[in-house]
Structure 1
């Protein structure tokens, strides 16, 4: 799963205006007409895709839901971390 927030250099708490601003900056940086690097076109497409998902409320919600589920790739390890964090706070 691609990390659209990382593609734009943002965290998941970013507002729509943050997303728009980051998109404009990254798009200008990686646009193939302005950047002659071999991977510029690919990076530009990643930035475009990230913006398309994160700027649409429904798509962003679905992406965030899938992203949260993806954090549970190792449920035992996640449960252990939650358990330790919980008891670390109450002790």
Structure 2
């Protein structure tokens, strides 16, 4: 499939480097920014440039776009062929439809990667470190699946009863 719409929006070739994409994005972003360009349609053009850059600046999203087209970010086109009832069209089954009508909201694929919370740390830097850069080591706790109960919160070999190691949370700080 030959998908060049996003490349055309930024005015770059399909084999453009990340630096070229970033430069083109900055140029087009300034050209169509609603605070600068008051022409009708400029805001829509700006949003299109944003969408193109968001996809092309991420190597994984760019590869998916190159292979499947602009709908790859929405879950379309990624199945290659029919693939059963789902068909790769982003339809997760009747339970998704009913749960959205009856208070269940959108269900999430439990195997899908989840984005973690943002981490914020206060780091003291000298003037020279701030100007010339420095490497600092930062230690933090993260959540990991409890190996004792495999994330169920239950003691091994029992029905769900509070795990003594993670206290029923399913995760421990390591």
Compared CA separation, residues 2 and 18, structure 1 to 2 (3 A)? closer
What is the aligned partner in structure 2 of residue 60 from structure 1?
62
Identify, as 1 or 2, the structure richer in helix. 1
With a CA cutoff of 8 Å and minimum separation of 6, indicate the structure with the bigger relative contact order. Answer: 1
Q: Give the TM-score normalised by the residue count of structure 2.
A: 0.37
Larger Rg: 2
What is the aligned partner in structure 1 of residue 137 from structure 2?
none
Deviations 1:44-70 (A, max 9, x none): 000000000000000000000024xxx
1:11 CA displacement:
1.0
Aligned partners of 2:57, 2:4: CA distance in 1, in Å? Answer: 16
Give 4+ residue runs of structure 1 displaced > 4 Å after superposition: none
Aligned partners of 1:18, 1:2: CA distance in 2, in Å? Answer: 15
SS in 2 for 1:26: helix
What is the aligned partner in structure 2 of residue 48 from structure 1?
50
- What is the aligned length? 67
- Give the alignment's Cα RMSD to 1 decimal: 1.4
Note if contact 2:4-2:14 (Cα within 8 Å) is conserved in structure 1.
no
Where in structure 2 are there 5+ consecutive unaligned residues?
Answer: 70-174
What is the aligned partner in structure 2 of residue 3 from structure 1?
5
Aligned partners of 2:44, 2:61: CA distance in 1, in Å? Answer: 22
